């Protein structure tokens, strides 16, 4: 089972993360997506849960929008996944994209 941590920052990115969380298991049955907004239960320590899922994930999806591309939280989670030698993918849901849907990011 592939455990995929889906990272977001701000509203549009969160919406994309939630769509991916719902959609991924429908197209790849061996995927267990995790999004902090939905998967941290009330009363749990969010920092400990995020750390645990960073450690336990096999891959990471980073949801990038023009509004959040320079936000420290995305950089933190992407860096934490990279240090753990996880495969990373960047996904964008707004702004200019090329013909393959890849975002034109600046910064």
Going from the C-alpha of 30 to that of each of 21, 22, 24, 38, 105, the distances in angstroms are: 13, 13, 9, 20, 31
The pLDDT assigned to 99 comes to: 47
Does the pLDDT at position 79 exceed 90?
Answer: no
Q: Does domain 2-92 have CATH number 3.40.50.450?
A: yes
Sign of CA dihedral 67, 72, 73, 75: positive
Percent of the chain with pLDDT over 90: 32
Packing angle of the helix pair 46-56, 72-83 (nearest 10 deg): 40
β partners of residue 81: none
User: For 25-68, how does the pLDDT look when each residue is reduced to its tens digit (9 = 90+)?
Assistant: 999 999 999 999 999 888 999 889 988 988 888 888 888 888 88
Higher pLDDT, 81 or 106: 81
Q: What is the pTM of this model?
A: 0.77
Greater model confidence, 75 or 100: 75
């Amino acid at each position: 089972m592939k455990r995929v941590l889906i990272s977001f920052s701000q509203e549009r990115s969160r919406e994309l993360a939630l769509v991916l969380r719902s959609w991924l298991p429908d197209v790849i049955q061996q995927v267990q997506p995790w999004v902090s907004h939905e998967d941290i239960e009330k009363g749990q320590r969010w920092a400990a849960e995020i750390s645990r899922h960073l450690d336990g994930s096999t891959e990471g999806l980073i949801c990038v929008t023009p509004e959040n591309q320079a936000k420290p939280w995305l950089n933190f989670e992407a860096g934490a996944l990279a240090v753990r030698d996880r495969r990373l993918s960047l996904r964008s849901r707004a702004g200019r994209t090329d013909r393959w849907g890849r975002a034109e990011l600046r910064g």
